[in-house]
Structure 1
């Protein structure tokens, strides 16, 4: 884990971290023999398209960050700086999935845009101290391999 996450942690510029996340996620699909298409321009609401089960899926890549003990989170909206402030837009109808790289655990997740929380989504990888079980987005439910297996089903 430290082999990849150590250098990743040294990237301070958000754009470089985003580029590293995209590269890590692309390689995760490639090693699973999933064909990838990449838009020619950087202004699309998705970062890549994958073909799974004979269908194409638009993917928005996101970087998770430590939220609290046992959880990571990622933004489920696009934020663009405008002259008069910020513009936030969701991905509903503009992408089908978030591919999320979690540098805390060196893990990859695939989450349907329609299932994602609005604004920000937390993923829990460790049991909470209070024993809560309801309303939690468990990491194992979104692991890349399990989600790809579901997408391969007719």
Structure 2
């Protein structure tokens, strides 16, 4: 486990971990020369806007957690808000272009197109499954930050 992952794990609550994930993703983008903009207010459905090529892309940043199976991480693809009447869950279709995901378990960042995600959550596998399954697997190599940025820059 890297020092960054250890520090991340020591954070107290989900709000602090969310802020750390945002800072990590933003830092990784800026260090690669990607222009990054943040909304002026906190009520937008996206956390950042990037310009990796000719188009702007809206990003929703998520933190991935260890999946129930070894060698994979999982992140939620919808937001949950607490209201007096209970929980409100909302998807991001049409309101963001990409999920930017920080996975502290493997200390990696991913970019995933909104059209590639499931309705509630998505798993990304960074090690082969113990049962040998290779069908319908979202391999981390396809979603690594540099891999997707290269595709976006050349699009």
Q: Same fold (TM over 0.5)?
A: yes
In terms of fraction of residues, the more strand-rich structure is: 1
- 1:136 corresponds to: 137
Query: Normalising by the residue count of structure 2, what TM-score does the alignment of the two structures yield?
Result: 0.97
Listed as ranges, the matches of 1:120-135 within 5 Å are: 120-135=121-136
By how many angstroms is 1:125 displaced?
0.6
User: What is residue 14 of structure 1 aligned with on the other side?
Assistant: 14
Give the whole-Å Cα distance in 2 for the aligned partners of 1:59 and 1:2: 25
Aligned-residue CA RMSD in angstroms?
0.9
Q: Which runs of 4+ in 1 moved over 3 A?
A: none
Q: Secondary structure at the match of 2:133?
A: coil
- Report SS of the residue matched to 1:52: coil
> What residue is the counterpart of 1:90 in the other structure?
91
- 1:41-77 superposed Cα distances (whole Å, 9 cap, x missing partner): 1111100000011210000000000012111100000
Structure 2 matches for 1:8-47, cutoff 5 A?
8-47=8-47
- Report the secondary structure of 1:24's partner residue: helix
**Any gaps of 5 or more consecutive residues in structure 2?**
none
Q: Output one character per residue of 1:84-121: Cα deviation in whole Å (capped at 9) or x when no partner.
A: 11111110000000000000010000000111111010
- Count the aligned residue pairs: 154
Q: Secondary structure at the match of 2:56?
A: strand
Alpha-carbon separation, structure 2, partners of 1:13 and 1:42: 19
Q: Distance in 2 between matches of 1:117 and 1:70?
A: 19
Task: Give unmatched runs, 5+ long, in structure 1.
Answer: none
